[in-house]
Structure 1
Amino acid sequence: MRGSLRSRIIAVCNKKICQKGDNVAVSFYAFFANKNNEPELLMEAATWWIETHRLDHFEKAHKIIGMIDQGL
């Protein structure tokens, strides 16, 4: 996964944690503005989330940050 997407994921997860608390869950859609203006990046995130790691629709933000930090 490209570095810019990794940075975006961490930033969004941290923002959600600050807004809603440590137990907040996110979907990969949270990393995009509900618009399809970056289809290649959206597919990259979806592939990582669904095909590569078989994550549920919503996962804890801390789990996703940990996975990104580990280079998964």
Structure 2
Amino acid sequence: MRAELRAKILAVCDQKIKAKGENIGVSFYAFFKNKNDDPEQLMEAATWWIQTHQLDHFVKARTIKEMVKNNL
């Protein structure tokens, strides 16, 4: 995963946790605007989420944050 995407995921997870609490769930769409302005990065996130880790649609933000921090 590119450093840019990694940083974006961590920042969004931190923001969501701060606003909604430790149990907030996110999907990989949470890291992108409604307008698809970076399809390569969106596909990279989708591949990591769906193919690599076979995650459910919504996963706790804290879980995603830990996975990204640990380079999983």
Please report the TM-score for the alignment, with normalisation by the length of structure 2: 0.98
Q: Which residue of 2 aligns with 1:15?
A: 15
Shift of 1:35: 1.3
Shift of 1:53: 0.2
Q: Which residue of 2 aligns with 1:44?
A: 44
Matched, 1:27 2:13: no
Unpaired runs of at least 5, structure 1: none
Shift of 1:66: 0.5
Write the distance in 2 (CA, Å) between the matches of 1:69 and 1:41: 18
Write the distance in 2 (CA, Å) between the matches of 1:71 and 1:21: 23
Matched, 1:4 2:4: yes
SS at match of 2:36: coil
Deviations 1:37-63, CA, capped at 9 Å, x for gaps: 100000000000000000000000000
Shift of 1:4: 0.5
Write the distance in 2 (CA, Å) between the matches of 1:40 and 1:69: 21
Deviations 1:18-49, CA, capped at 9 Å, x for gaps: 11011000000000011111000000000000
Shift of 1:68: 0.5
User: Following superposition, which runs of at least 4 residues in structure 1 exceed 4 angstroms of deviation?
Assistant: none
Tell me the matched-pair count: 72
